[in-house]
Amino acid sequence: MPPVDLRSDTLTRPTDAMRAAMAGAEVGDDVYGEDPSVNRLEEQVADLFGHEAAVLVPSGTMGNQIGLRLLVPPAEELVCDADSHVVTYEHGAPALHGGIQTRTLPGGLLDADEVAAFLRPPGWGTVATSAVSVEQTHNRGGGAVHPLPVLQRLREVTAAAGVAMHCDGARIWNAAIASGTDLEEYGRLFDTLSVCLSKGLGAPVGSLVVTDATRAARARVMRKRLGGGMRQAGVLAAAGSYALEHHVERLADDHRRAQLIADALDVGPVDTNIVAVQVHDAVAVAAAAREHGVLVSVVGPRTIRLVTHLDVDDAGAQRAAGVVGELLAR
């Protein structure tokens, strides 16, 4: 029996139908802006978020880094929480590529009043805060969703301070489905968003930077400079368009299965598709789970993470819950 792989939601393989859409994609040279499938996808995603433009990039990391650099000049400050993907998993890219200084609040969901007190506007003789980055949903926060009123209040306090907002929306689709929030509602709160077609949507590659037309033109230059200009990228865009059409509503199934696992392990309610479980020895539990055909991630010395996705059905979720539950009971 193949293992149930819950290490990440990026593990899905394109379905046959998605592969067929890729094989049939109309393509051109996207570096010249002439790939019709890419152009269609970019327009579609910009529209979904109510922005003027979107730029296809190879990864969520590149999307974040371009989004951040559009908002934060070198030697100015980005505020985010200490567990954010942008400061935890992107290998120092804000500092290396953007010369961006980061200052972090405690890890987890942001609180608007705490952010307001943390910002440093220009003129204080301090490094000025140029932008706040918000992760929606929050990966290390166990897939938690920033509620819309919190984001709205964050927008108010940042706007009052003249500070921009970036959204690391790798899983913003999960947030939209779980909270019943329209993507456009999210879109209007942020100056730049990076949204992923991989992860829960199941496309093999691709993220988009969503923003206004002026910034999008700069984003295209940054993308090329980073080596992210792709030629017949329409084959990837076709997978993304397919995913948007067929794999967004079904995220509710992933959320239901994550809750099934959480209930079995007694870890309380989860917002979306990520279950973080506190254990005595994460490495040992992950190794034992692997022996029983269940793959989980170690995300801290005492934390394992289980992520539901397109390749995990009800039986797989039950099997994972049974194996991990047994190990925790020992």
Ligand X SMILES: Cc1ncc(COP(=O)(O)O)c(C=O)c1O
C-beta of 35 vs 135, nearer to ligand X = 135
5 part of the interface to ligand X, by CB under 6 A:
no
What is the sign, positive or negative, of the torsion defined by CA atoms of 321, 324, 326, 329?
Answer: negative
> What is the total count of residues that contact ligand X (CB under 6 A)?
12
135 part of the interface to ligand X, by CB under 6 A:
yes
Which residues ranging from 8 to 47 are in contact with ligand X (CB under 6 A)?
none
Residue positions counted in the chain? 330
Which residues ranging from 96 to 125 are in contact with ligand X (CB under 6 A)?
none
198 part of the interface to ligand X, by CB under 6 A:
yes
Contact 273, 291 (CB under 8 A): no
Least gap, CB of 205 to ligand X (angstroms): 8
Nearest to 275 by CA among 203, 330, 325: 325
Which residues ranging from 138 to 167 are in contact with ligand X (CB under 6 A)?
139
What is the secondary structure of 210-242 as a DSSP string?
EE-HHHHHHHHHHHHHTT---SSTHHHHHHHHH
Least gap, CB of 199 to ligand X (angstroms): 7
C-beta of 168 vs 271, nearer to ligand X = 168
Q: For residue 59, give the DSSP letter.
A: -
CA distance 188 to 152: 10
In the chain, the amino acid numbered 198 is S
C-beta of 138 vs 319, nearer to ligand X = 138
Helices in 24-171 by DSSP H: which ranges? Answer: 36-48, 60-71, 85-88, 93-98, 112-118, 148-160
Q: Which stretch binds ligand X (CB under 6 A): 15-23, 53-61, 118-126, 213-221?
A: 53-61
Among 87, 132, 170, 208, the residue binding ligand X under the rule CB under 6 A is: 170
C-beta of 165 vs 196, nearer to ligand X = 196
Contact 296, 283 (CB under 8 A): no
Q: Which stretch binds ligand X (CB under 6 A): 21-29, 54-62, 229-237, 251-259?
A: 54-62
Name the β-bridge partners of 81.
105
C-beta of 60 vs 234, nearer to ligand X = 60
CA distance 176 to 184: 10
Among 12, 37, 61, 174, the residue binding ligand X under the rule CB under 6 A is: 61
**Residues in contact with ligand X, shown as a per-residue x/- string from 71 to 90 under the rule CB under 6 A:** --------------x-----
Contact 158, 118 (CB under 8 A): no
Q: Which two tokens stand for residue 174?
A: 């999960």
CA distance 154 to 160: 10
192 part of the interface to ligand X, by CB under 6 A:
no
C-beta of 192 vs 327, nearer to ligand X = 192
Among 35, 42, 77, 168, the residue binding ligand X under the rule CB under 6 A is: 168
Q: At what angle do helices 60-71 and 213-225 cross, to 10 degrees?
A: 120
Q: Which two tokens stand for residue 290?
A: 């692997």
59 part of the interface to ligand X, by CB under 6 A:
yes
| CA 148 to chain centroid | 17
Least gap, CB of 166 to ligand X (angstroms): 11
Which residues ranging from 254 to 313 are in contact with ligand X (CB under 6 A)?
none
Q: Which stretch binds ligand X (CB under 6 A): 56-64, 71-79, 253-261, 314-322?
A: 56-64
Binding site for ligand X (CB under 6 A): 59-61, 64, 85, 135, 139, 168, 170, 196, 198, 207
